[in-house]
Amino acid sequence: MLIQNDILGWINFIWRCCLRTLTFGTGVKSSLVGFDKIIFGCGHDNNQGFLSPKSVGIIGLGNGATSLTSQLGYVIGNKFSYCLALESNIPSLLNFGEKVVVSGSEIVSTPIVSGHSSTPYYINLKGMTVAGKDLILLTQLVMQSLVAAQINLERVTDKNLLPSTIKLCYKFSPSTFKAPPITVHFAGADIVLNKQNTFIKFGDSLTCFTFNIANNVYIYGSVAQLNFHVGIDKQKKVVSFKPTHCIKLQS
């Protein structure tokens, strides 16, 4: 399974590449630190299709040699962490250096393993548990059937109303909606997901199951990581997860 912590998808662009000095704030008032000879690309006529109009650029956090985390590896100890806030109006945190450590009683960790590409982070998915039933062989039909059996809401089947990439949706009713418990089993790490990690609201009338399986590729997406403090240690080849209210990390 791949971990989605950077932009995954096809990007068509015309670009120029050069070396630049990048300057970052340190968290201390008026304190800056610069890094020389960082590979920096300028994109023109970008056609991502999945970025907010407010986005000003893309950084790579992957395992490839030209990602920001790889280029700064010698300075940041090949470690970084992030916490994706559930609230859309709250900025999410990306930490390098002293604040990277993910610790506490609820932390679980799983090793990074080799995959088909050098860029993504691969971790070993053992299976999932949906409403107490173990799934070893994951298929879209089986997973959606198990989830659907636990929800007592009117299902929406009109393709004109459904989001293009999501198939399991219901008419939203906040007073009666209860998501089935789902646990993801990685090697050495069991992660219990909340409703916020498995269902997303579309407009005022739909709530949809966010897990999709396509072409036998499993991506542990950003929605599943909401309100988790995720730490990646590229040197030790370990990913750590801790359920966290991300807003509290900003205080």
Locate 148 and state its tokens: 């659907």
pLDDT of residue 228 exceeding 90, the answer is yes
- pLDDT computed for residue 6 by the predictor: 44
| pLDDT, average across residues 103-127 | 91
Residue 73 identity: G
At 229 the pLDDT is: 95
The whole-number average pLDDT for the span 211-239 is 87
Tell me how many degrees the CA angle 185-189-191 measures, rounded to the nearest 5. Answer: 65
Residue 136: CB atoms within 10 Å? 8
What's the pLDDT band for 52 if we cut at 50, 70, 90?
low
Structure-block tokens of residue 198: 């498995």
Cα separation of 80 and 101, whole Å? 8
Of the two residues 14 and 172, the one the predictor is more confident about is: 172
CA of 126: how far to CAs of 79, 140, 143, 191, 214, in Å? 25, 16, 15, 12, 18
In sequence order, the β-bridge partners of residue 80 are: 232
94: closest CA among 80, 113, 112? 80
Mean pLDDT lowest for which of 21-30, 96-105, 200-209? 21-30
Considering the chain, what percentage of its residues have pLDDT values greater than 70? 76
Over 80: is that where the pLDDT of 87 sits? yes
Q: Which is more confidently placed, 160 or 72?
A: 72
Least confidently predicted of 56-60, 63-67, 156-160, 239-243: 56-60
- Candidate from 139-143, 149-153, 222-226 with smallest mean pLDDT: 139-143
pLDDT at residue 12 is higher than 50: no
Q: How far is CA 79 from the centre of its chain?
A: 17
Burial classification of residue 196, based on how many CB atoms lie within 10 Å of its CB (0-12 exposed, 13-18 middle, 19 or more buried): middle
Q: Which two tokens stand for residue 126?
A: 């053992």
Query: What pLDDT is recorded for position 137?
Result: 64
Q: What domains can you pick out in the chain, each with its CATH number?
A: 1-250 (2.40.70.10)
What would the mean pLDDT of 157-186 be, rounded to a whole number?
80
Determine the pLDDT at residue 169.
84
Full DSSP string of 224-248: GGBTEEEEEETTTTEEEEEE--GGG
Confidence of residue 233 (pLDDT cuts 50, 70, 90): very high
What confidence tier does 171 reach under pLDDT thresholds 50, 70, 90? confident
Alpha helices in 55-150 (DSSP H): 68-71, 73-76, 140-149
